[in-house]
Amino acid sequence: MTDSQLIREIKDGNVQLYNELMRRYERKILAFIFHMLKSTAMEGIAEDLCNETFYKAYRSLHSFREIEASFSTWLYTIARNTVLSELRKNKSVQVSLEQSGLTPHASLDAMPEQTMLRNEKVSMVREAINSLPEKQRSALILREYDQMDYQEIANILGQTVSSVKSLLFRARASVKLHLDPYISEPIFEESKG
C-alpha cells in the first residue's frame, strides 16, 4: 500500500493503519531529529520529539493535502518545526549534528590505526557540519544523509529550490574550508646530510 492509500484509509476511519505509516518513517525521522539535537546535549529527548512529531502529524492528518507536498516532506517539516520549537524553549542551545551515531564500523580485519583515522575523519566532518548555520546544516543533512531531492528540501525548509541549492553550495564550501587544514598534506623537503 502506498502512503497515499494508507492516508486515505486512515482518513476514512481505519486509524490502525497509522502504525504502518509510523513504521515506515520512524527511523528516518528519529535520525533526523537526533542529528539536529546531538551537539546540544539534548539528544536524550530525540525519541520524545519523534513521538511528538507523529502525534502532531496524526492530529493534523485531516488537513494534509497530497497536492501540496508528499507525506514524507510534510512529516519532516513537522519534525523540524518540533525540534526548533523545543530549542527555542532552551534559547542558549544551538542546533547541531555532532556525532550522530552513524559512525562507520571497521571490519574485523582492519588495522586499529585505520579505524582510528577513519573515526577521526568522521569526527572532523561532523564538527565542520556543526559549525554551519541552522538552515545550511538542515539542508545538508536532508540532502546527504536522507538523500532528499531539492524540491523536498525546499518544501521542508520553506525555501525555493534555488535557495536550497545556494544553501547547499555555501554549506559544502564552508565544510571544505573547515576541513582544508586537515586535508592538505604538508610537503616535506628532504634534508641534506
Annotate 31-81 with three-state secondary structure: HHHHHHHHHHCCHHHHHHHHHHHHHHHHHHHHHCCCCCCCHHHHHHHHHHH
37 bridge partner residues: 96
Q: pLDDT value at position 191?
A: 47
Alpha-carbon gap, residue 69 to 43, rounded angstroms: 28
Question: What are 49-58's pLDDT values in tens digits?
Answer: 999 999 999 9
C-alpha cell at position 114: 585505520
Contact 66, 4 (CB under 8 A): yes
96 bridge partner residues: 37
Out of 3.40.109.10, 1.10.10.10, 3.40.50.2000, 3.50.50.60, which CATH number does the structure's domain 110-192 have?
1.10.10.10
Alpha-carbon gap, residue 95 to 49, rounded angstroms: 14
Residue spans of the domains in the chain: they are 1-103, 110-192
Residue 139's nearest CA partner among 126, 122, 151, 121 is 151
Q: 115: number of CA atoms within 13 Å, CB side? A: 8
- Fold match, 1-103 / 110-192: no
Q: Give SS3 for 83.
A: helix
Question: What are 26-61's pLDDT values in tens digits?
Answer: 999 998 888 888 767 677 888 999 999 999 999 999
Q: Give SS3 for 14.
A: coil
Fold annotation for 1-103: Rna Polymerase Sigma Factor; Chain: A (1.10.1740)
C-alpha cell at position 157: 525548509
Integer distance in angstroms from the first to the last C-alpha of the chain?
A: 75
Backbone angles phi, psi at 180, to 5 degrees: -50, -45
Instruction: Give me the residues of the chain with pLDDT under 50, please.
Output: 93-109, 187-193
Alpha-carbon gap, residue 24 to 5, rounded angstroms: 14
Backbone angles phi, psi at 189, to 5 degrees: -90, 145
